Chains A and B, each alone.
Chain A
Amino acid sequence: MMNEDIELKDPVLPLGRPTLGSAGETGDWRTYRPKFIEENCIKCYKCWLSCPEGTIRVDAHGEYPYIDYIYCKGCGICVHVCPGRKKQKALEMIPE
């Protein structure tokens, strides 16, 4: 009787769907947050390339990157790889 409620349009498979934030809002894992300093950014996008999480977002070529703080885990890779302008990094880690 209970089986009538199940729609059999989709095959019954253990099928997952791509979801943003599938592990929750992972931003609460971090103790330090990267802070973006626009005037030191040379738009090399190395931070975008090396971010494991994909939380460095760039809307279009030639635009400044920004950080999605909801999911950023605060590993600090972006700060480490940033070449900056005149040895002044465009990213720095600050305590939460």
Chain B
Amino acid sequence: MNVKIPEMMDRPEVLLRGNFACAGCGLSIAYKTSISALNRPIVVIPACCSSVIQSLHPNVAYNVPTLNIAFAAHASAASGIARAKKMRGEDTTTVVWSGDGGTYDIGLSTWSGAAERNENIIHFCYDNNFYSNTGAQRSGATPRGAVTTTTPRGKREKRKSIARIMAAHDIPYIATASIGYLRDLYTKVKKASMIEGYRFILIDAPCPTGWNSDPAITPELGELSVKTGYFPLFEIEEGKLTFSKRGIRYKDPINRLSIEKYLEKQGRFKSMTSEQTKLLTDDLQYEWDMLSKLE
């Protein structure tokens, strides 16, 4: 947490204003902060909200080279770019910027292959818990009890732990970050850019439109997800997990805020029963226990 805001202000503007993002978009905040931390990035974007907010041809809201590719091809396209740039001796950073649909579900096989080959890519997953660009359908990242258009009574299954799946690939660097702690996110991206190999950063990016929340509290929801223990902040380097300075105190359930504080601010949890809340709390504790074993 040693980066200062003026240092971040010196970085180039990567997302131009006047784009198609909704008011209060969590993805835009995550994108601006992460990509501006990188030197000469080339961004590969599968079908997701990012391909919507870039606006219509021939205008693009992104101020960095961007390739739009099919859902299940992001990491393979990025592998090719990274290798070609290396052969030509160009110093660039190849980035996959995908949503949770593209990482948890559809793009899983392609990034798994790239991670196994240890391609020189940074894979960002901004996690807004569902397929947002097609109108809020359930994904593997949707938590238990959340209402989406395909789970009108709340999802019955627990949320997938992508970080642990990623950790099973033994890649050099894995981190989680939240848009409630942007300087922490920036520091983690900077750190990832110094490492060679397949790196993965999972970002919690609230979506006011799909979560049915007030656009003004988007960063606050990011903070609350950490403070209630819903979204643990950690880094995994060479198989060793360390909880981040910002998130370590929520390892102990006593320090956590009650999960209701997080749920009540979102319309998608409005119809949640106390039984579902209990199950969700158990899911979170299970996730913390499993992560602690990697310490």
Question: Which residues of B lie under 8 Å from residue A49 when comparing CB positions?
Answer: 5, 8, 33, 182-183
With A and B bound together, what is the CA distance between A44 and B9 in angstroms? 12
Asked whether A77 lies within 8 Å of B219 as measured between CB atoms, the reply is yes
With A and B bound together, what is the CA distance between A29 and B21 in angstroms? 11
Stretch at the interface among B10-18, B131-139, B251-259: B10-18
With A and B bound together, what is the CA distance between A18 and B55 in angstroms? 10
Contact for A53 among B6, B17, B33, B217, CB less than 8 A: B17
Q: In B1-59, which residues have CB < 8 Å from any A CB?
A: 5-6, 8-9, 13, 15-29, 32-33, 54-59
Closest to A45 in B: B5
Asked whether B5 lies within 8 Å of A44 as measured between CB atoms, the reply is yes
Question: Which residues of B lie under 8 Å from residue A16 when comparing CB positions?
Answer: 54, 57-60
Asked whether B218 lies within 8 Å of A75 as measured between CB atoms, the reply is yes
Q: In A30-69, which residues have CB < 8 Å from any B CB?
A: 30, 44-46, 48-55, 58, 61, 68
| B91: Cβ under 8 A from any A Cβ | no
Question: Which residues of A lie under 8 Å from residue B219 when comparing CB positions?
Answer: 50, 77, 80-81
With A and B bound together, what is the CA distance between A75 and B60 in angstroms? 22
Asked whether A80 lies within 8 Å of B58 as measured between CB atoms, the reply is no
Asked whether A55 lies within 8 Å of B9 as measured between CB atoms, the reply is no
By DSSP majority rule, is chain B's interface helix, strand, loop, or mixed? Answer: mixed
Given the known inter-chain contacts A45-B9, A53-B28, A75-B216, please indicate yes or no for A26 contacting B18, CB distance below 8 A: yes
Contact for B29 among A23, A50, A68, CB less than 8 A: A50
Asked whether B25 lies within 8 Å of A18 as measured between CB atoms, the reply is no
Question: Which residues of A lie under 8 Å from residue B263 when comparing CB positions?
Answer: none
Question: Which residues of B lie under 8 Å from residue A51 when comparing CB positions?
Answer: 29
| B197: Cβ under 8 A from any A Cβ | no
| B61: Cβ under 8 A from any A Cβ | yes
Contact with A along B189-231 (1 / 0, CB 8 A): 0000000000000000000100000111111100000000000
Question: Which residues of B lie under 8 Å from residue A15 when comparing CB positions?
Answer: 58
With A and B bound together, what is the CA distance between A74 and B73 in angstroms? 36
| B62: Cβ under 8 A from any A Cβ | yes
Given the known inter-chain contacts A44-B5, A75-B216, please indicate yes or no for A52 contacting B61, CB distance below 8 A: no
Closest to B216 in A: A76
| B273: Cβ under 8 A from any A Cβ | no
| A11: Cβ under 8 A from any B Cβ | no
25 sample A-B contacts, Cβ–Cβ < 8 Å, listed by A number: A14-B57, A16-B57, A18-B60, A19-B16, A19-B60, A20-B18, A22-B16, A22-B18, A22-B54, A22-B56, A23-B18, A23-B61, A30-B23, A44-B5, A45-B5, A49-B33, A50-B219, A52-B25, A54-B16, A55-B17, A58-B9, A75-B25, A75-B208, A76-B216, A80-B220
Q: Which 5 A-B pairs have the closest CB atoms?
A: A21-B18, A76-B216, A75-B24, A22-B55, A22-B59
